[in-house]
Structure 1
Amino acid sequence: MKKLTTVFIISVTIAFAFILWGVISPKNLAENTSEIQTFITEQFGWFYLLAASGFLLFCIYLIFSRYGKIKLGKDEDEPEYNYLTWFAFLFTAGMGIGLVFWGVAEPMYHFYTPPTGDPQTPSAAGVALRYSFFHWGFHPWAIYTIVGLTLAYFKFRIGAPGVISATLEPLFGEKVHGALGKTTDVIAVFATIFGVATSLGFGTAQIAGGISHLTTIENTFGTQIIIIIVITFLYMLSSQTGLDRGIKILSKTNVYLAIGLMLFMLFSGPTNFIMDAFTQTVGTYIQNLVGMSFRLDPFNTETNWVQSWTVFYWAWWIAWAPFVGSFIARVSKGRTIREFVIGVLAVPTLFGALWFTIFGGTAISLDLFHNMGIMDIINEQGMEIALFAVLQTFNFGKTMSLIAILLIGSFFITSADSATYVLAMQTTNGSLNPPNSVKFVWGIIQSAAAAVLLWSGGLAALQTASIIAAFPFAIIMIVMIFSLVKALNKEKKVKRVKVS
């Protein structure tokens, strides 16, 4: 291993201390993170909503701005990857594992406990899908866009190191090479560890739930630990092959498996209902986008629905932003700002909307029109069973459930593989080809963090950790926007001078 950076040493020390805390006193860890989460969501929910909406508005501005034709690289650079590979990278690194976990569970929860109106009604069904679109649509991808675009611009256009702190140099100058920059990078690494650990925990629970649903093996913490160990071995093996082999091949495989599973459900399920629901929900999503973006429900103090869902999601996406943004930046060299923003915002949002309509819409249809009791199964066996409960109601359900487990495992490997790459890059001063030894260390830490969080408080502790990690990084993202705009304005002024 080459000389270790200060960011690497500090980040590993903090991560190790956190994991040790969870091993020695898991109950204390769960209690403390829960208290911090409650404080943040109650006092700063408004901040998350304003920040996320501001990020989306800035992305829309960039599409139509004079900066749209600027390349993320030199003027002569061309994209490294074709559109299919690029979109595969976006989807699998961005939220693939989360879509599989929540594709059925979230619409069903909203259907039975809607943010407004009476539950288990046709109106509640429409609201359930609309909010699922909202939570996985333009806002989260705008968050990823901000980080990815800023990193790609400074790395490939300016030639700066591929770390978060380097994007702040137009505002803070040489200070980014000192304590300010190191603190920024450590926060980004911390957010990545626990943002990724959240989804790895969801994936572990769902794989264990699927195996339990199909076999006699119980979904216990012991089972989940075995899954984490196996998956860790596989993604560590994949991470040693590099970006253009392991991650690229797995990303394409994920897309093919996901599309195959979607097509099976689309044509096995209520096809006409699904397409009608998709068409209508796209319209209501766009129609109600502004209202949902700023809804906090302060006049109804008896509910914390927005804090439990929307605020949590915005925090979750922000926690994932250093990881996903860094990865998207790495694979986007040569694209224009306009092409980047439209691609990252539109394509994954459309795919996510289809996914939720096909799986969530089918589940709602089964309960609303056929009294199949999907929600009863979820309540009895856990939300990780939701997808398998729906698949089992159709022919070849067991086979498709096995494919779903394979897809979750593949997403798990790809997400963790990508995250080890990004963590290694962020802690080696932005190296595009970080040492395998550094990737190995971060791979072990990621898995250990996921295991400890599952042990100390299950999925609730995973959620609280991501919200806590996201708060300081949201502030950094706002500063990144001002820094990017300053750099873009400087570039335009230089070009005008050269022309004149």
Structure 2
Amino acid sequence: MRQASKVFYISLVISALFIIWGVIPKDVLPTWNLSNVTSNVQAFITDKFGWFYLLSATGFLIFAIYLIFSKYGKLKLGKPDDEPEYSYITWFAMLFSAGMGIGLVFWGAAEPLSHFHTTPVPGMEPASQESARAAMKYSFFHWGLHPWGIYAVLALALAYFKFRKGAPGVISAALVPLLGEKRIKGGLGTFIDFIAVFATIFGVATSLGLGALQISSGLSYSIDGLEDTFSLQLIIICVVTVLFMTSAMTGLNKGIKYLSNANIVLALLLMFSLLLIGPTGFIMDYFTLTLGSYVRDLPYMSFRLTPFVEDDTWIKGWTIFYWAWWISWAPFVGTFIARVSKGRTIREFISGVLLVPTIFGALWFSVFGGTAISLEFFNGVDIISDVQNLGTEVALFSTLQHIPLGGVMTVIGLLLISTFFITSADSATFVLGMQTTHGSLNPNNQVKFIWGLIQAGAAAVLLWQGGLTALQTAAIIAAFPFTFIMILMCFSLMKEFKAEAKSIGLKKKN
């Protein structure tokens, strides 16, 4: 434990206090329970600063795109002779598995279906052609360039300062050019790194809980007589914890690498199976139509708010929520992407991080969301009733039930959720280890073990108490101060880029 930093002990204590607060019954603290407090704080931030999240997320994307075409795109994330550690396929698999894999499986059918019935545009007729087009367009929007732009900016800053400048691989180190080494080595740097760790712990613990919910609901939905109980969810969490801890202990180049590649194989197998067996022509037409409208309307959607609409809950509950959620996940995903991106140029790095996951995600939503909407629109299948009665987590399984070979695809889907579950958790364990051991590229197994137990324990206890939503909200609240940290990172990067360009004589036409 000699590797552990002050951030480790501070984060450990505060995390434990939040978990204890989260399991206190509401009748004991009717006003000051965690759920009420975090919900009120989040509502205040969303109401007063929704515009700030919207402008910030769009600003990060614009900054990332600018760097692709700037002279700084030629700089390498490492020394001039460094080469990438991983092939393109493995690199894409690892960044994708850590980033959004389990979320895509959870929301692939559920989100477009939800927008189809509860439309993004006021006055639009639900379950109509217009709502179907808007449903898929906004699914592309929420999971496309904006979140990956957020991840790209943070990952770029970490990778650049770590591999090219030799700085510690912690969030605060990227702000040294702007704030000075003295401040970063003091309390300000500790606070910045704590905010990053706090958001990671509770963001990932919530995802572990949601993953357990989806696996248990999938099993109970598919197997007659099997009830979706807390006992089943607890067994799932215990099994997955053993697996992801084993993977995390074997290191980045074994467990995480191999499981990430397995994820991509299973994801492609499930997606293309449904594409070929399902309404293929409709799916690809839907994908093409939506891709065009997404590109056309991206500037408008990027700044869309509804100040003249009395009920603006859709924008706040979806777009603003997502932008805050992606920012809260940025310390985790960004740190992991940075760790596996050594040796790539800035242009290559940002292009890959932005385009490949965005296109894959768009195709994923078209296949799963398109199939669900096609079943309802053309065949009269009532999938939304299952979702409303049994929960969002059953949308995938309800959709597959009405497709030939749906039972086989359900098994593949459960395997995919499990492997994404494991890779997200072991990647987070690795990242938490890095962020609390002064940025070590190979954190101590003891530290990783402790963080793994905390994540699994938090998920289990809060599932039992029904407090997952409160912790998810707490993670999103942490995104508010972290947004300012990311803005400062952009200025810090530009300051360092300009200094380096001047020192090496970097020109646009080189």
TM-based fold match above 0.5: yes
Match of 2:205 in 1: 197
Q: Does 1:464 align with 2:473?
A: yes
Q: How does 1:71-86 map to 2 (within 5 A)?
A: 71-86=76-91
How well do the aligned residues superpose, as a CA RMSD in angstroms?
A: 1.4
Q: Report the CA distance shift for 1:458/1:7 in structure 2 as closer, same or farther (over 3 A).
A: closer
Match of 2:74 in 1: 69
Q: How does 1:36-75 map to 2 (within 5 A)?
A: 36-75=41-80
Q: What CA deviation, in whole Å up to 9, does each residue of 1:425-466 have, x standing for no partner?
A: 000000000010000000011112223443444553344223
Letter of the 2:80 partner, please give it: D
Q: Give 1:20 deviation, angstroms.
A: 1.4
Q: Give 1:468 deviation, angstroms.
A: 1.1
Structure 1 portions without partners, runs of 5+ = none
Q: Report the CA distance shift for 1:125/1:459 in structure 2 as closer, same or farther (over 3 A).
A: farther
Match of 1:138 in 2: 145
Q: Does 1:170 align with 2:196?
A: no
Match of 2:30 in 1: none
Contact 1:29 1:456 in 2 (8 A): no
My pick for the range that moved more, 355-364 or 300-309, is 300-309
Q: Give 1:23 deviation, angstroms.
A: 2.6
Contact 1:15 1:190 in 2 (8 A): yes
Structure 2 portions without partners, runs of 5+ = 28-32
Q: Report the CA distance shift for 1:294/1:452 in structure 2 as closer, same or farther (over 3 A).
A: farther
Letter of the 1:48 partner, please give it: Y
Contact 1:30 1:456 in 2 (8 A): no
Q: Report the CA distance shift for 1:436/1:416 in structure 2 as closer, same or farther (over 3 A).
A: same
Identity of aligned residues (%): 62
Match of 2:217 in 1: 209
Q: Does 1:8 align with 2:33?
A: no
Q: Does 1:391 align with 2:396?
A: no
2:162 to 151, 155, 160: 155
Match of 2:118 in 1: 113
TM-score (norm 1): 0.97
1:495 to 488, 496, 504: 504
Q: Determine helix, strand or coil for the equivalent of 2:109.
A: helix
Contact 1:454 1:462 in 2 (8 A): no
Aligned equivalents of 1:221 and 1:472: distance in 2? 35
Q: Give 1:2 deviation, angstroms.
A: 2.1
Letter of the 1:142 partner, please give it: G
Q: Report the CA distance shift for 1:295/1:455 in structure 2 as closer, same or farther (over 3 A).
A: farther
My pick for the range that moved more, 390-399 or 136-145, is 390-399
Aligned equivalents of 1:4 and 1:79: distance in 2? 29
Q: Does 1:278 align with 2:287?
A: yes
Aligned equivalents of 1:309 and 1:178: distance in 2? 37
Q: Give 1:497 deviation, angstroms.
A: 9.9
Q: Report the CA distance shift for 1:63/1:497 in structure 2 as closer, same or farther (over 3 A).
A: closer
TM-score (norm 2): 0.96
Match of 2:375 in 1: 366
Match of 1:297 in 2: 306
Q: Give 1:208 deviation, angstroms.
A: 1.0
Letter of the 1:192 partner, please give it: T
Aligned equivalents of 2:289 and 2:296: distance in 1? 11
Q: What CA deviation, in whole Å up to 9, does each residue of 1:366-423 have, x standing for no partner?
A: 0011101011111111110000011111222112111111110100000000000000
Q: Give 1:493 deviation, angstroms.
A: 1.3
My pick for the range that moved more, 459-468 or 275-284, is 459-468
Q: Determine helix, strand or coil for the equivalent of 1:191.
A: helix
Match of 1:104 in 2: 109
Q: Report the CA distance shift for 1:26/1:182 in structure 2 as closer, same or farther (over 3 A).
A: farther
Aligned equivalents of 2:478 and 2:458: distance in 1? 13
Letter of the 1:207 partner, please give it: I
Q: Give 1:312 deviation, angstroms.
A: 0.9
Q: Does 1:92 align with 2:100?
A: no
Q: Give 1:323 deviation, angstroms.
A: 0.6
Aligned equivalents of 2:76 and 2:172: distance in 1? 21
Q: Does 1:314 align with 2:323?
A: yes
Aligned equivalents of 2:422 and 2:446: distance in 1? 18
Aligned equivalents of 1:29 and 1:43: distance in 2? 21
Q: Does 1:419 align with 2:424?
A: no
Q: Determine helix, strand or coil for the equivalent of 1:67.
A: helix
Q: Does 1:24 align with 2:36?
A: no
Match of 1:323 in 2: 332
1:219 to 228, 232, 249: 228
Aligned equivalents of 1:206 and 1:50: distance in 2? 33
Contact 2:459 2:468 in 1 (8 A): no
My pick for the range that moved more, 489-498 or 405-414, is 489-498
Letter of the 2:8 partner, please give it: F
Aligned equivalents of 2:240 and 2:307: distance in 1? 43
